[in-house]
Structure 1
Amino acid sequence: MIIDDLKRLAKNSLGFSIGTLLSQAIGFFLLPIYTRYLTPADYGILSMAGVVTSILMIFLLFGQRGAIGRFYYDYHHDPDQLKDYLSTICLAVGLISLTACIIISLLGESIFSTIIPDVPFNPYLILAIWTALLGIPLNFAFILLQVRERSFTYSAINVAQVLVVTVLIIFFVVVLEEGALGSLKGQFFCSIIFLFVALFYLKKDIAITFDLNKFKESFRFGIPLIPHMLAGWITTLTDRLFLNLYCDLSIVGLYSLGYKFGSIMNIITTSINFAWAPFFMSKATTEGEKAKPSFSKITTYYMALIIFVGLGMVFFSKDVIHIMTVPAYYDSYQVVPFIVLAFILNGMYYMVVNQIFLLKKTKLLATITFSGAIFNVILNILLIPRYGMIGAAVATAITFLFTFIGVFIASNRLFPIKYEYARIGKIIVIGIVVYGISLVLPEYDIPGDIILKSLLILLYPVGLFIIRVFTDEEIKQGKEYATKTLNRIIKKTDS
Structure 2
Amino acid sequence: MKNAVVYGLGSLLLQASGIVLLPLYTRYLVPADFGILEILERTGSVLTILLMVNGVRGAAFSFFCQARDDAERARIVATVSLVVWLGILVGLLAVLAAAQPLSRFLGIDDARLTVLGLAASIAQLLPMLPMAFMQARVQSVGYILASLMTMISRVAIVVAAVAWGGWGVWGVLWGTLIASLVAGGVLTALEFRRWGFHPDRSKLMPVVRFAWPFMPGGLCGFVLFSGDRFFLLQYCGADEVGVYALGSRLAGIVGTVAFTPLFKVWSAWLYGVYRQPDGDRAVGRMITRLLTPYVFVGAGVCLFRREILLVFGTAEYAGAALVIPPLIAARFFITAQVLFDGAFYVYRRTGLKLGITIFATAVILVLFYLLIPRYQALGAALAAVGAFFAYAAATHLVSQSVFRVRYEYGRVAALLAGGVAVVLLAGQFDFGIMDIPAKAALMAAWPAVLWITGWVSKEEKSLVVDSLTRMLRRLRCLPADGAGDNDAPAAKPAESRQRA
Amino acid at match of 1:484: R
Residue equivalent to 2:160: 171
Q: Which runs of 5+ in 1 are unaligned?
A: 1-7
**Displacement after TM superposition at 1:284 (Å):** 6.9
In 1, Cα distance between equivalents of 2:88 and 2:292:
44
Is the 2:64–2:133 Cα contact (8 Å) retained in structure 1? no
* CA deviation vs aligned residue, 1:66-107 (integer Å, no higher than 9, x gap): 634983797278666666555544433432x13422431332
In 1, Cα distance between equivalents of 2:96 and 2:212:
26
Aligned ranges for residues 261-410 of structure 1 at < 5 Å? 261-268=250-257, 269-280=259-270, 283=272, 293-410=281-398
**Displacement after TM superposition at 1:354 (Å):** 3.5
How has the CA–CA distance of structure 1 residues 492 and 129 changed in structure 2, closer, same or farther, with 3 Å as cutoff? same
Amino acid at match of 1:98: I
Residue equivalent to 1:118: 108
Residue equivalent to 1:182: 171
- Aligned partner (choices 443, 457, 463) of residue 443 of structure 2: 457
Amino acid at match of 2:402: L
- Is 1:59 matched with 2:75? no
Is the 2:17–2:154 Cα contact (8 Å) retained in structure 1? no
Is the 1:228–1:369 Cα contact (8 Å) retained in structure 2? yes
Is the 1:307–1:431 Cα contact (8 Å) retained in structure 2? yes
Residue equivalent to 2:468: 482
How has the CA–CA distance of structure 1 residues 200 and 341 changed in structure 2, closer, same or farther, with 3 Å as cutoff? farther
- Is 1:259 matched with 2:256? no
3-state SS in 1 of match to 2:432:
coil
- Is 1:75 matched with 2:66? yes
How has the CA–CA distance of structure 1 residues 211 and 74 changed in structure 2, closer, same or farther, with 3 Å as cutoff? farther
Is the 2:56–2:84 Cα contact (8 Å) retained in structure 1? no
Residue equivalent to 2:180: 191
In 2, Cα distance between equivalents of 1:30 and 1:454:
27
Residue equivalent to 1:3: none
- Aligned partner (choices 477, 490, 499) of residue 491 of structure 1: 477
In 1, Cα distance between equivalents of 2:60 and 2:419:
33
**Displacement after TM superposition at 1:440 (Å):** 1.8
* CA deviation vs aligned residue, 1:232-268 (integer Å, no higher than 9, x gap): 2212222111111111211111111111111102323
- Is 1:239 matched with 2:228? yes
- Is 1:107 matched with 2:97? yes
In 2, Cα distance between equivalents of 1:312 and 1:338:
14
How has the CA–CA distance of structure 1 residues 321 and 79 changed in structure 2, closer, same or farther, with 3 Å as cutoff? same
How has the CA–CA distance of structure 1 residues 412 and 430 changed in structure 2, closer, same or farther, with 3 Å as cutoff? same
- Is 1:227 matched with 2:216? yes
How has the CA–CA distance of structure 1 residues 24 and 138 changed in structure 2, closer, same or farther, with 3 Å as cutoff? closer
Identity %: 23
3-state SS in 2 of match to 1:493:
coil
**Displacement after TM superposition at 1:31 (Å):** 3.5
Residue equivalent to 1:434: 422
Q: Which moved more, 1:160-169 or 1:476-485?
A: 476-485
Is the 2:76–2:203 Cα contact (8 Å) retained in structure 1? no
User: CA-atom RMSD, angstroms?
Assistant: 3.1
**Displacement after TM superposition at 1:435 (Å):** 2.8
Is the 1:37–1:174 Cα contact (8 Å) retained in structure 2? yes
Is the 2:367–2:383 Cα contact (8 Å) retained in structure 1? yes
- Is 1:418 matched with 2:409? no
In 2, Cα distance between equivalents of 1:12 and 1:431:
33
Is the 2:99–2:111 Cα contact (8 Å) retained in structure 1? yes
Amino acid at match of 1:59: L
**How many matched pairs?**
479
TM-score by length of 1: 0.85
Aligned ranges for residues 8-87 of structure 1 at < 5 Å? 8=1, 15-16=6-7, 18-19=9-10, 27-64=18-55, 67-68=58-59, 71=62, 75=66, 87=78
How has the CA–CA distance of structure 1 residues 106 and 371 changed in structure 2, closer, same or farther, with 3 Å as cutoff? same
In 1, Cα distance between equivalents of 2:300 and 2:156:
30
Residue equivalent to 2:432: 444
**Displacement after TM superposition at 1:373 (Å):** 1.9
3-state SS in 2 of match to 1:458:
helix
In 2, Cα distance between equivalents of 1:247 and 1:16:
39
* CA deviation vs aligned residue, 1:430-479 (integer Å, no higher than 9, x gap): 3233233233232535xx32212111112331232233223223322332
3-state SS in 1 of match to 2:341:
helix
Q: Which runs of 5+ in 2 are unaligned?
A: 484-500
3-state SS in 2 of match to 1:403:
helix
- Aligned partner (choices 428, 447, 459) of residue 473 of structure 1: 459
In 2, Cα distance between equivalents of 1:256 and 1:340:
13
In 1, Cα distance between equivalents of 2:116 and 2:199:
31
